[in-house]
Structure 1
Amino acid sequence: MSRIEIDVVTAEFFEAFDNRGGKAADVARIRRLFSSEGRLSRSARSSRSTPTSSSSLASGC
């Protein structure tokens, strides 16, 4: 991938998860960006989870 292609995919990734102003995540776009076994990591002070993208989307991100 070229630097430009990586920048395009990165921008699309962040736009898909953008929830500013109460906007919902674009689930269809997220599905296009990840393989079914892709991982989305979520870290909090006391815990961490790394479900597959499919299971995250099924549970509402």
Structure 2
Amino acid sequence: MIAFDGHKLETPLAVRAMDETGMLLRDAKGRPKARRRDIDGKTVLGVIIRPEFLDGLLQSHATR
């Protein structure tokens, strides 16, 4: 979610687009899975992207 802000993308709009295109992992009730994590001392909320959409992303971050 923080990455969207850095690229001047509105987080709710980006999450909605990912949800509508089937990119988000869903829970047993059919809702997008969300998780809270502590990042740099702040609790942030994020969604879980389905693994098949991460292949290229993981490779590009490994080379940084």
- Pair in the same fold by TM > 0.5: no
TM tier, shorter chain? under 0.3
Structure (1 or 2) with the greater strand fraction = 2
TM-score (norm 2): 0.27
TM-score (norm 1): 0.28
Structure (1 or 2) with the greater helix fraction = 1
